[in-house]
Structure 1
Amino acid sequence: MHRYAPFLLACALSFVAACAQAAVGLTELSGVDDGPVTVYYPTAAAERAERLGPFTLQVARDGAPARGNGRLVVISHGSGGAPWVYANLARVLVDDGFVVALPRHRGDNHTDTSKRGPDSWKLRPAEVSRAIDVVGADARFAPLLTLDKVGMYGMSAGGHTALSLAGGRWSPGQFVRHCEAHIADDFHTCMGLLTRLRGDSWDGLKKAVSLRAIRWKFGDDTWQLHDEPRIRAVVAGVPVAADFDMQSLAKPRVPLGLVTVGLDAWLVPRFHSDQVLAVCSGCERIAHLPNAGHGALLSPPPPAHLLGELELAMLGDPPGFDRTVLPEVDRKIAAFLRKHLLP
């Protein structure tokens, strides 16, 4: 045996023991101009049950951060979203040593939905940049992180943010043209959860009124771009994508992975994720869930009794979908980010 082998073995065992003892810490940081930034991170503090919104999660609230792998991942939530429905993915990322930050997007979160749609999409990428700044300025996290390689995950409207930060450009005018061409086939992309088509005599009026409102509000053809050089790897889950210039996503500025589903009634895949994958030969389909709906990547999912009829139809799991596949999806997302952010 090599004379250093016992020492190296002891170090390895110490490292494994330290990892086994690591728990998930949780804290909330105040943004300068934005809402709070929720942070999940490695800690040696003991976890306990905490009531967070409608969920009970095992976390070490405000426990002292422990050194992980030195990298930050930002998660951009979906429309009307909250940080708790990404807790399972955050735990997998923390287990890998990442610090995970979730900014609350102004006007499109669980407390305020006044800017849903393109109005929010314009704001979100800069909010991600400021969230990186906020975490990097915090005395607890600054010594533990190097912010030259930050990862990004976004789901749904957060997926739109992710595509923007991968180098994609979009415009409200593109959104209008998509809705003019596909209002019947992709109605909820255009109108969200305000109403639904029911196959009756009211559908024509609903489509006409919807298009009139969309044209009035979102006729601007100015390309929307945001450059954030610190972000070096991006994953988009079931993203809003129909309003992008697809050629801007043909060669993303950073590695781009997608998580897709087959039964998305909110963002019909052929207009969104399928279009990105068709044009981007270098993108990686990290996972595909053929029997899943739009809300499959919310984990834990929002309680059904808190959702309205239309919300449940859009976010609820289709019959036969098995959520036990989700931990493996989370591990694949983490593996993609490890590959491109470490060492």
Structure 2
Amino acid sequence: MTYLRLALAAAFCLAVSSAHAAGLKFLHIPGGQGEDPAIHAAMWSPCAEVPADVRIEGLTVPAVLDCPIAGEKLPLVIISHGYGGWYLGHHDTAEALADAGFVVVAVNHPHANYADMSRADGLGALIGRPVDIKRTVDFMLMASPDAAKIDPQRVGFYGFSQGGYTGLVIAGANPDFSKLPPRCADPKATGCPQTNQVRRSQQRPLPQSLTHDPRIRAMVVADPLSVVLQTTDSVKNVTIPLQLWGSELGGGGGASPEDVATLARVLPEKPDFRIVSNAVHLSFLTPCPKNRQFSEVCIDAPGFDRAAFHREFNAEVIAFFRQSLRE
């Protein structure tokens, strides 16, 4: 699967958005003085205006650009995409949350998103992802022009695949990177001899500690990269309310149904664990238009209705965050 096809498929998915009144704003989170690059993000929020068709990057979406946030002391949810994904890959969930009264910010992880995969395959990407989330929370609660609209005591997180891994680390997990499978030294290669493979655990010295953030009070993770989180010791500090979703059929690297089930068993606090019957790994991505079902990211198992599943999924996610982040 090429990154271009991923990007095109994700773009086409925008055409089937079902937002009712979601405001949409694009954010630029400045880079730090060190090696931290700028982060680009999309923010959805409650909006009192009626949405209209808006052209964004050649696409038509129902939204209200730069709509003033309707409400005060609103809960915040941060969204982290999977490998090769982007900040619009879960836009239907973001829109549903915004319509339900949440401020939602989805990030493009720098140098590890569909448009720029230049650093996506090194261990540094897995180490840097939780840092990206902490920087985003910092920005939204302190530097953002909308900071006063957000309740800093009600911050949640949603992550898919590597984004799910990201959330678990933020919540206190300490993964065992030695369990990662080898990956090609060239991130553009689709197959390579064993001599050209590198272990991500050997590409960069491990930090003394990974980035955790106690400000995030509840999270939803779907088919997380969990091959590195298979022991009670690795997740012993993950104690916040957690809704864990797994696909029955799998298909994502490091997120096999068996690994996700093991993660559910070893967590110290029993998660709200849901297995989605007949779903594949990519079924958690936003629904695709019917005329684009041939795309690799849009292919579900026979008989699986992604749009119907997402209506149920979004409702369950909203209910979970409302309960877990209640005032």
Name the TM tier (shorter chain).
0.7 to 0.9
Q: Is residue 195 of structure 1 aligned with residue 190 of structure 2? A: yes
Alpha-carbon displacement from aligned partner over 1:146-197 (angstroms, at most 9, x marks no partner): 212310010011111011112101243332xxx2xxx7xxx99x9988436x
Q: 2 CA distance for matches of 1:53 and 1:272?
A: 37
Structure that is richer in helix per residue: 1
Q: CA deviation at 1:238?
A: 0.7
Q: Is residue 234 of structure 1 aligned with residue 219 of structure 2? A: yes
1:332 equivalent in structure 2: 316
Alpha-carbon displacement from aligned partner over 1:66-125 (angstroms, at most 9, x marks no partner): 116611000011112122221110122112211001121011112101122432111111
Q: Tell me which amino acid in the other structure corresponds to 1:155.
A: F
1:18 equivalent in structure 2: none
Q: 2 CA distance for matches of 1:154 and 1:229?
A: 16
After TM superposition, list the pairs within 5 Å mapping 1:140-289 onto structure 2: 140-175=145-180, 179=181, 194-195=189-190, 206=193, 208-209=194-195, 212-214=197-199, 217-218=202-203, 220=205, 224-244=209-229, 246-247=231-232, 248-250=234-236, 252-267=238-253, 268-280=255-267, 282-289=269-276
Structure that is richer in strand per residue: 2
After TM superposition, list the pairs within 5 Å mapping 1:1-343 onto structure 2: 23-33=21-31, 34-53=38-57, 55-67=59-71, 70-117=74-121, 118-137=123-142, 140-175=145-180, 179=181, 194-195=189-190, 206=193, 208-209=194-195, 212-214=197-199, 217-218=202-203, 220=205, 224-244=209-229, 246-247=231-232, 248-250=234-236, 252-267=238-253, 268-280=255-267, 282-301=269-288, 304=292, 312=296, 316-323=299-306, 324-343=308-327
Q: Max radius of gyration: which structure? A: 1
Sequence identity of aligned pairs in percent?
A: 26
Q: 2 CA distance for matches of 1:235 and 1:58?
A: 25
- Which stretch shifts more, 262-271 or 43-52? 262-271
- Could you tell me whether the CA contact under 8 Å between 1:68 and 1:98 is conserved in 2? no
RMSD: 3.1
How many equivalent residue pairs? 298
- Which stretch shifts more, 128-137 or 257-266? 128-137
Q: 1 CA distance for matches of 2:264 and 2:195?
A: 32
- Which stretch shifts more, 274-283 or 219-228? 219-228
TM-score between the two structures when normalised by the length of structure 1 = 0.77
Q: Tell me which amino acid in the other structure corresponds to 1:266.
A: G
TM-score between the two structures when normalised by the length of structure 2 = 0.80
Q: Tell me which amino acid in the other structure corresponds to 1:238.
A: D
- Could you tell me whether the CA contact under 8 Å between 2:250 and 2:257 is conserved in 1? no
Q: Tell me which amino acid in the other structure corresponds to 1:60.
A: V
Q: 1 CA distance for matches of 2:95 and 2:278?
A: 25
> Runs of 5+ in structure 2 lacking a partner?
1-18, 32-37
- Could you tell me whether the CA contact under 8 Å between 1:68 and 1:99 is conserved in 2? no
1:155–1:332 distance in 2 versus 1, CA, 3 Å: same
Q: 2 CA distance for matches of 1:315 and 1:273?
A: 22
